[in-house]
Amino acid sequence: MKKIYQIEVAGTCNIKCSYCPHPTSIRKHELMSRETFIRSMELVGKLGQSHISLHNFGDPLLHPNIVEFVRISREYVDEVSFSTNGILLTRKMAKDLKDAGLTSMHISTHSPKDAQKAIDNCEGLDLLGDVRSNFYHDWAGTSKKHKKYYSDYQEWNAKKKTKIGCPFIVKEIGVILSDGRIASCCIDMEGLGVIGSVYDDNALDLIPSYFSLCENCHMMSEYIPEFAMHKEGSNVEKI
């Protein structure tokens, strides 16, 4: 493995967006323990990366230790960011996060009134990243309500000509779930593509691999020889 893309410090959320598979998922919705977080950051440090995102599924502001986690993160990397719906972001918390070393916060507008308050609470802190209103995919077929986003993404992707395949597979990038397991993909809500754990002695040697969701994912295509081989045969494991 060459990089950790995201650490899911909170696997639980305080809203139920229709586009997201989280509300109907069966994976345990939990908060990451401090011990697991430190093990995660130690792995990030060993990989020598300069940035880490503290989100995946769920909202990081739900974690009571999020400010401490940001502070710990800065001991290992130069930049720390996360995405949030902004519901719990007060002006004090925004300042505390900034003081702890958070370099960027991305806010979802799926709860518009709360999002605007969060944006206002970031004023003057040089903290606000982008503001997001859409996700252009169907989470590899696991979100059935937003097929329009998927078709929109296909059109957008075609215009950008980004047919390089899944960066998680091509570039060996992993995602750490709230219980410390390492998954091969950031849109894998149920953890079907888990390859190991931060507690494994060989965690650095783990390699993200193809799994069941890959067959329906917008990031995969016939342009990637490795995946074309998997599609032609029966090598994609059915989990």
Distance CA 221, CA 33 (A): 37
User: Do the Cβ atoms of 61 and 84 come closer than 8 Å?
Assistant: yes
CA distance 132 to 130: 6
Per-position pLDDT tens, the chain of length 239: 999 999 999 999 998 887 788 888 899 999 999 999 999 999 999 999 999 999 999 999 999 999 999 999 999 999 999 999 999 999 999 999 999 999 999 998 877 888 899 999 999 999 988 787 665 567 777 776 555 554 555 554 555 444 556 778 888 999 999 999 999 998 898 999 999 999 999 999 999 988 888 877 766 654 344 443 333 333 333 22
Could you tell me if 87 and 109 are in contact, meaning their C-beta atoms sit under 8 angstroms apart?
no
Neighbours of 50 (CB within 10 A): 9
